[in-house]
Amino acid sequence: MADKNLRIGLIGIGNMGTPMGGNLIKAGWNVTVYDTDAARMRAFTAAHGGAAAASLAELGGKSDVIITMLPDGFIVRRVVLGKESGDDCLVKGLAKGTTIIDMSSSAPVGTRKLGEDLRQYGIVLLDAPVSGGVKGAVAATMSIMIGGDKALAERYDALLSAMGKRFFVGSLGAGHAAKVLNNYVSAAGLAAAAEAVRVAERFGIDPQVLINVINASTGRNNSTENKFAQFILNGKFNAGFALGLMTKDLTLAMDVAEACNVPAELGHATLALWKKAESALGAKADHTEIARYVNEQG
């Protein structure tokens, strides 16, 4: 049975963290949030309840379990350990035996290093990145890829189940590896579909007609089913995930491939395309704008 008396600290209440925290509170968990944006914290507690902490050290002192939902592993490390001795950070408040669950998209190798560094404090790390976007975060249907000690993962299964479907994938860092490899496949599928749509339009085929054909055929993928009609063909480009973050995940995926001595030729070509799009459109552009970039070339 889940111990709903556990005190949960959540760091990062942006597009993903806000609905995730809201679902935890809705499921009966005791949640305190922290974000560098005080206005976000006020908005969160007004909309969902829970409490807010004034500092990372305060959040650490008030939490049995910490969940991080941050842009990358460098920020996670700084939040947890700080960079300088005087920095506000979690370890200044965390008690021995506390668990940190990093649900950010972090570098797998960096995650293993952070886990090693936390052992001296008696703190345990799980990595549990997610896939499913804002829509999945709101509906609590995200895929959650968990790496670390399996018994520990099972201990917090009820907590994680309030946010999505859980998949235990291996030792510490394996969750983050699975996440960036998933995003590689997703990014490649989106770029391939964007190029196919552009060719079709030049040939005289209506883009929506081609997407309908693909979705009834073997080329269908998550992007053709859930992004083209919803965010691309209508010109909205507001799926809620930044192009720069997709490029970052692709870079991490290729780092993992290199560490494993896998050439990943298609992966490197995909990364090169996304880097060009980021250079042209900016890191803050929505990732679906890769289709706009492809359409504007040549």
Give the residue numbers annotated as catalytic, written as ranges. 179
- Strand 30-34 and strand 51-52: the pairing is parallel
Nearest residue to 53 via CA among 13, 84, 103: 13
Closest CA to 21 of 126, 137, 141, 156: 137
Residue 205 structure tokens: 């085929």
Q: Outline where the chain has alpha helix (H).
A: 17-26, 38-48, 56-61, 73-81, 108-119, 133-139, 150-155, 157-161, 174-203, 207-215, 222-226, 243-259, 265-281, 290-296
Backbone angles phi, psi at 6, to 5 degrees: -60, 140
Count CA atoms closer than 13 A to 16's CA, side-chain side.
26
Task: Using alpha carbons, list the distances in angstroms from residue 14 to 8, 34, 171.
Answer: 17, 11, 28
CA neighbor of 111 nearest in space, from 65, 68, 151: 68
Half-sphere exposure of 74 (CA within 13 A, CB side): 2
Q: How far apart are the first and last CA of the chain?
A: 59
**Within a 10 A sphere around the Cβ of 69, how many other Cβ atoms?**
26
CB 287 within 8 A of CB 239: yes
